[in-house]
């Protein structure tokens, strides 16, 4: 199968990248931890303490997320991931994605609009799709001015998830990378492909009656910026 053919180089790429990132995060969190466990702060430092504690919390989250991502990648490539599509209420899905991103969005004063039919039910692997959408929102934070929109809609037998922003849109290189995903793009030369590859693998795992899930990157949308689109059968 094609998964097997390209997995060795992907593993190599992933292993080294993640290892490198984890080193940086370890230093960050270690330093923060050391500062925090020192004796009681002097009065002029006291104000910074809660903020530093929050930084540590965020760093830990980042570390956890990375480990989780690595686990999913490893499993997706192998594939030993216990893929488990079940009926999910879209209302609950959106709620979970929004909650994961809440702290980040609030601290950057970005608003999240959601748009979906509260009665809508979709069939997919909930944990994987939450991972993809949270990743897409994280990514949109980099491009948006102050607004991100998460919408879910049933469209011609496919469930369409859109993460849109009101920024300047994706640069041409990203649009190309998005179009190339799934067509054998060389990830060793394209570092921005990591998240896209993860998302496209998740999409591809979802199959129903000869139809397969897919992802796309576009510019425009309701907010006029970049759009990440996930379509599931």
Binding positions for another protein, rule: CB under 8 A: 57, 60-61, 64-65, 67-68, 71-72, 75, 79-87, 89, 91-92, 94-96, 98-100, 102, 112-118, 121, 123, 127, 130, 208
State the nearest-atom distance from the C-beta of 94 to another protein, in Å: 6
State the nearest-atom distance from the C-beta of 98 to another protein, in Å: 4
| Core vs surface per residue 4-16: b (16+ CB within 10 A) or e | eeebeebeebbee
State the nearest-atom distance from the C-beta of 215 to another protein, in Å: 21
State the nearest-atom distance from the C-beta of 71 to another protein, in Å: 3
Task: Please tell me the distance from the alpha carbon of residue 227 to that of residue 144, in angstroms, as a whole number.
Answer: 11
Instruction: Report the residue number, 69 or 177, with the smaller CB distance to another protein.
Output: 69
Instruction: Report the residue number, 20 or 113, with the smaller CB distance to another protein.
Output: 113
On whether the CB atoms of residues 121 and 87 are closer than 8 A, the answer is yes
Instruction: Report the residue number, 123 or 219, with the smaller CB distance to another protein.
Output: 123
Please report where in the chains the tokens 């480990």 appear, as a residue.
67
Instruction: Report the residue number, 185 or 203, with the smaller CB distance to another protein.
Output: 203
Q: Is the dihedral of CA 191, 3, 12, 128 positive or negative?
A: positive
Secondary structure letter of residue 146 according to DSSP = S
CA atoms within 13 A on the CB side of 144: 25
Instruction: Report the residue number, 90 or 174, with the smaller CB distance to another protein.
Output: 90
State the nearest-atom distance from the C-beta of 106 to another protein, in Å: 11
41 C-beta neighbours (distance < 10 Å), count: 14
């Amino acid at each position: 199968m094609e998964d097997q053919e390209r997995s060795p180089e992907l593993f190599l790429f992933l292993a080294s990248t993640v290892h490198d990132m984890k080193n940086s995060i370890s230093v960050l969190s270690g330093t923060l931890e050391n500062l925090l466990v020192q004796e009681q702060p002097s009065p002029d430092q006291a104000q910074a303490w809660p903020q530093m504690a929050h930084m540590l919390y965020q760093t830990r989250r980042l570390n956890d997320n990375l480990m989780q991502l690595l686990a999913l990648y490893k499993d997706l490539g192998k594939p030993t991931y216990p893929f488990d599509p079940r009926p999910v209420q879209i209302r609950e899905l959106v709620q979970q994605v929004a909650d994961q991103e809440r702290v980040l969005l609030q601290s950057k004063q970005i608003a999240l609009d959601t748009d979906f039919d509260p009665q809508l039910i979709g069939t997919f692997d909930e944990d994987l799709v939450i991972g993809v959408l949270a990743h897409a929102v994280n990514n949109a934070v980099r491009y948006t001015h102050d607004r991100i929109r998460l919408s879910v809609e049933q469209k011609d037998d496919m469930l369409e998830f859109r993460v849109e922003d009101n920024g300047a849109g994706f640069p041409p290189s990203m649009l190309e990378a998005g179009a190339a995903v799934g067509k054998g793009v060389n990830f060793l030369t394209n570092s921005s492909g990591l998240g896209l590859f993860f998302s496209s693998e998740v999409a591809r795992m979802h199959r129903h009656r000869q139809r397969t899930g897919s992802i796309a990157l576009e510019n425009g949308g309701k907010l006029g910026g970049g759009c990440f689109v996930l379509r599931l059968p």
